[in-house]
Amino acid sequence: MTILVTGARGSIGSEVVRALRAGGHEVRGSARDASMLDLPDAVSLDLTAESGFEDALEGIDAIFLYPTARAGAGHFLAAAKKSGVSYVVLLSSPDVREGAAGNPLRQAHLPSERAVRESGLPFTVVYPGWLAGNTRRDWGAAIRAGDPVRLFSPDAQFAPTAEADVAAVAATLLAERSYPGSDLALTGPESMTQRAVVAVLVEELGRSIEVRPETRGEALARRPEWMPAAVLEYLMDAEEAAEKRIAPVNNTVERFTGRPATSFREWARTHRSDFEKAATVHIG
Ligand code: NAP
């Protein structure tokens, strides 16, 4: 029985591969370009393609599926059903369950959810909370450069969720198939303000990091190219709302892995190098 992990290069997908292989399971990993993968069984796969899935699906029994923004993996899932796949774990976003109809993150994840729900395959959708790696994605460059971390809403609360915990729960689902439900939310162990998250990085990195609040206009003006303006607007609205209430915390990680969820401090300790300055090489 081989498990296909799509997005095997992704921060969660790579951890799903690691967790399944550590548990002694046969794993095939996919990326849109398989040459980017360093795995014994790797295939190229674009989930939004219309055909050509034979190599990826040969001998596969279960699948870890990444969401693909705006286009669901309908053709791929139809081929998976035909080839005998018996279970799918889809990564999604809590915005699908909690967001208002026009929420752009909900819109982006809905096609993948619909495709899985309409595929006729047994499935579980996992809904992680705010990923701990958002700190590296959003603040990493500033911290490495010694610049201030600019925050629209320093007092917004989230429960940082370690990617390896999301992966450990997904790997347990894929290996055991014992969860009868179709939806599973999981979070980190503690609700923290963004300011408190930066404070943990300060302690773990052993150097100061300035938090500089910014206005909505300033945040929009320095919006990264990959982030649509509507998504950033939505995220700022969500942050404003999250100033007033603590973030939900649940015990899913412990229920499925038998160990407590990873704290943000533990995550920061194992990801310290992501925030450290790259060494400068002087030649001549
Ligand atoms: P990541 O590191 O950015 O990896 C994304 C993966 O998706 C890549 O491996 C990529 O594969 C794969 N992919 C994208 N389009 C594809 C396609 N058409 N066909 C096949 N593979 C495709 O992502 P992550 O950090 O592991 O997970 C991020 C996801 O988690 C978000 O997209 C969101 O859906 C969900 N999420 C995020 C948060 C949060 O707080 N940020 C919270 C809840 C849920 P390639 O190797 O081919 O590029």
Mean pLDDT score across all residues of the chain: 95
pLDDT at 27 over 80: yes
Under 8 Å CB-to-CB from 284, ≥6 apart: which residues? none
Lowest mean pLDDT among 129-133, 152-156, 275-279: 275-279
Q: What share of the chain in percent tops pLDDT 70? A: 98
Confidence of residue 198 (pLDDT cuts 50, 70, 90): very high
pLDDT confidence of residue 100: 78
Residue nearest to atom 41 of ligand 1 (CA): 131
| Structure confidence by residue, pLDDT tens digits, 30-84 | 999 999 999 999 999 999 999 999 999 999 999 999 999 778 799 999 999 999 9
pLDDT confidence of residue 181: 87
pLDDT at 187 over 80: yes
Other beta carbons within 10 Å of 17: 25
256: nearest Cα among 192, 185, 161, 182: 185
Q: How far is the CA of 54 from the centre of ligand 1 (A)?
A: 23
pLDDT at 280 over 60: no
Confidence of residue 244 (pLDDT cuts 50, 70, 90): confident
Q: Buried b vs exposed e over 236-266: b needs ≥16 C-beta within 10 Å?
A: bebbeebeeeebeebebbeebbeeebbbbeb
Residue nearest to atom 44 of ligand 1 (CA): 93
pLDDT confidence of residue 172: 98
pLDDT confidence of residue 72: 79
Confidence of residue 282 (pLDDT cuts 50, 70, 90): low
Q: What is the DSSP letter of 40?
A: S
Q: How far is the CA of 53 from the centre of ligand 1 (A)?
A: 20
Q: Which amino acid is at 168?
A: A
Q: What share of the chain in percent tops pLDDT 90? A: 90
pLDDT at 284 over 80: no
What is the CB < 6 Å shell around ligand 1?
6-7, 9-13, 31-32, 36, 45-48, 66-68, 91, 93, 109, 128, 130-131, 133-134
Other beta carbons within 10 Å of 218: 12
Contact 168, 257 (CB under 8 A): yes
Quick one: average pLDDT of 167-174? 98
Phi/psi at 89 (nearest 5 deg)? -110, 115
Cβ burial, residue 53 (10 Å; 0-12/13-18/19+)? buried
- Higher pLDDT pick, 180 / 210: 210
Q: How far is the CA of 137 from the centre of ligand 1 (A)?
A: 13
Global pTM reads: 0.96
pLDDT confidence of residue 153: 97
Confidence of residue 101 (pLDDT cuts 50, 70, 90): confident
Q: How far is the CA of 207 from the centre of ligand 1 (A)?
A: 31
pLDDT at 281 over 60: no
Cα dihedral 200, 201, 207, 211 sign: negative
**Per the structure block, which two tokens stand in for 15?**
């951890």
Our CA angle for 204, 141, 168, nearest 5°, is 60
Strand partners, 151: 213
Q: How far is the CA of 166 from the centre of ligand 1 (A)?
A: 13
Under 8 Å CB-to-CB from 258, ≥6 apart: which residues? none
Q: Which helix (H) or strand (E) element contains residue 64?
A: strand 60-65
Residue nearest to atom 23 of ligand 1 (CA): 10
Residue nearest to atom 4 of ligand 1 (CA): 10
Q: Which amino acid is at 190?
A: E
| Structure confidence by residue, pLDDT tens digits, 135-148 | 999 999 999 999 99
pLDDT at 279 over 70: no
